[in-house]
Structure 1
């Protein structure tokens, strides 16, 4: 069961696991599409409706994907989906996943926390009640950790204090209401895992980039979404799109912000590895799901070099940072567990970036440049948001 299977990571994962031989269902309330409608945004790539997507997948692959359209915050709906599908693994992508969206105003902050935290509690109860052997694989974020001045371990840290030693969850320092919702998810999951003896895996995912997987490339109607706006567009995808349309890449502040990154093709393989290696009952595995670390300035330099090789002339500008965050900091996160289980990472080489830029150029006429500049300021988050698209 892929909760949030109509989204960027969820759609690619659903197709990958289906092709691999899993019986797959998608649970989604399609709210990500309605958010675009509310804010005047659009995916760079023209995506089909979820029903058409699923029909096309059956046509090109011969494999069915069951579809349940509804809200995980509606426990009656979620319970019915669990009883009908009886999942052995539940991959939970079904959350509002944008930090800027969560900081737009009070209403969206509350929605983010309610949807994410309460939805996850519903999923945990549904597993307990309807599928106690089901393995819950929850997508967290590396942003849960913040930017501590020590190395970031994979989920747990062993501490000696006043002569006594214990292994504890790594301290969390979420930098937005979105990131904080993920911190709450992790604490709730760990509690339920211990209290009920269920199987859980928490995947602290880095920033995902890229458009294509082997499965989404099988037909144009299966194309994944690609966000470029300042609310849902991640830094690398946004920079590539800015370079492709001749808009300067917008580096926030000093540009020393460093994060973990991974290719969308590695995302689906990481989920597959988690499915194939379930946690034992009563144990919560935690993996840091990224493959490389880069600063914002390093990303801009890499895209500048790749852009010149495909006939572009990328420029970089600095804009005031709308976020409350450290712009220069120490960052060293561990990420060995998934590779120990067989992940062979795809490096962000120049050839890949050149190919991504070429893909984006084919859609560049769909870009609305009014959506590129920052539109949400952490310090100015109010009870009512201003319109983003001017």
Structure 2
């Protein structure tokens, strides 16, 4: 298959591009390196040292014998999008290339506007290019479980059947996003659903949970192929941040009571889910939704797990509770369906002490790259800021 991976230089995109290439697919990466630029803006960095994309791609060809093409550009530039789609003619378009941080989108007005323009306009350009140039191409779009929020009923996979005033219909599951980032994903979902109905596009929306771990077989095979490890308070997920805090002798900081529960998935399962979606494409005109997570954890449970494993490595982190900077329920019901990818053959890697130990060891080996000042929450959900 010819697979175009937008955002192929990023945390999910890079291991996905390598994995698909290793499976024999012809892979092309589109990226504008903005994720690296946000590190500079925020005064942070990947805990693991990552090479530039040309060096990465060259090393992959050297070690695997397989070539990955790439072209730098911005998806909000429609001419760039049309050019790469026309040049590569993908069978599948994997779309990771969006600003993915909820805290980043909530910093101030300019970051909220940037997030929504970047994400929604880039996705619209992709839809139009596919519809005009390669209408048989399968759009595989990374969504988020955060689109659903935390409703007091079970979360279904994209759709829910309801009865109202004696009539029954199956409708898109109600969305209750918790940030301007999550709202941008909701807009994407609605736009793609509409395009499937009117143009006959085929699309799979992967509502992914929080991704943990950093290594796949491919990225771990050579230091130059290493994946990024985000640990700061803006882009770092809770588990990564807890590991970096423990490894650097800082407190493990849980926001609020820590009862916030979400779906989680190992990066090794992320790349497999993309392959499963690509190998089993949606039908023409079909907008299907897969909930891409494998297990549920609360923030407090994650903090306690990291603290427990850290003690076996002669670390002694304190677990403390901070005032929650976010506007979210800290105690809530959470039960989400996630059967469709399992039915296609996904065999999950579940979070355990061994995985946490590996993350802690990576953090300990790279202590000199940790900026502890970036751990603290820097964004206040409760007050709008102009910039």
Q: TM-score range by the shorter chain?
A: over 0.9
Q: What secondary structure is seen at the aligned counterpart in 1 of 2:185?
A: helix
1:275 aligns with 2:278: yes
1:361 aligns with 2:364: yes
Measured after TM superposition, the shift of residue 237 of structure 1 is 0.9
Q: What secondary structure is seen at the aligned counterpart in 2 of 1:44?
A: coil
Instruction: Write the mapping of 1:60-75 to structure 2, written as runs, cut at 5 A.
Output: 60-75=63-78
Indicate which of 231, 238, 260 corresponds to 1:257.
260
Q: What secondary structure is seen at the aligned counterpart in 2 of 1:158?
A: strand
Q: What secondary structure is seen at the aligned counterpart in 1 of 2:254?
A: strand
Measured after TM superposition, the shift of residue 254 of structure 1 is 1.0
Question: In structure 1, what is the Cα distance between the partners aligned to 2:315 and 2:348?
Answer: 28
Indicate which of 222, 232, 235 corresponds to 1:219.
222
Question: In structure 1, what is the Cα distance between the partners aligned to 2:239 and 2:368?
Answer: 19
Partner residue in 2 for 1:49: 52
Partner residue in 2 for 1:234: 237
Instruction: Write the mapping of 1:339-354 to structure 2, written as runs, cut at 5 A.
Output: 339-354=342-357
1:306 aligns with 2:309: yes
* Alpha-carbon RMSD: 0.8
Question: In structure 2, what is the Cα distance between the partners aligned to 1:315 and 1:290?
Answer: 29
Partner residue in 2 for 1:185: 188
Partner residue in 1 for 2:293: 290
Instruction: Write the mapping of 1:92-111 to structure 2, written as runs, cut at 5 A.
Output: 92-111=95-114
Question: In structure 2, what is the Cα distance between the partners aligned to 1:325 and 1:215?
Answer: 37
5+ long unaligned stretches in structure 2: none
**Residues 60, 218 of structure 1: 8 Å contact kept:** no
1:150 aligns with 2:126: no
Indicate which of 165, 169, 194 corresponds to 1:166.
169
Indicate which of 114, 133, 143 corresponds to 1:130.
133
Measured after TM superposition, the shift of residue 29 of structure 1 is 0.8
1:120 aligns with 2:138: no
Measured after TM superposition, the shift of residue 310 of structure 1 is 2.0
TM-score, normalised via structure 2 length: 0.98
Partner residue in 2 for 1:388: none
TM-score, normalised via structure 1 length: 0.97
5+ long unaligned stretches in structure 1: 385-390
Which segment drifts farther, 32-41 or 176-185?
32-41
**Residues 7, 225 of structure 1: 8 Å contact kept:** yes
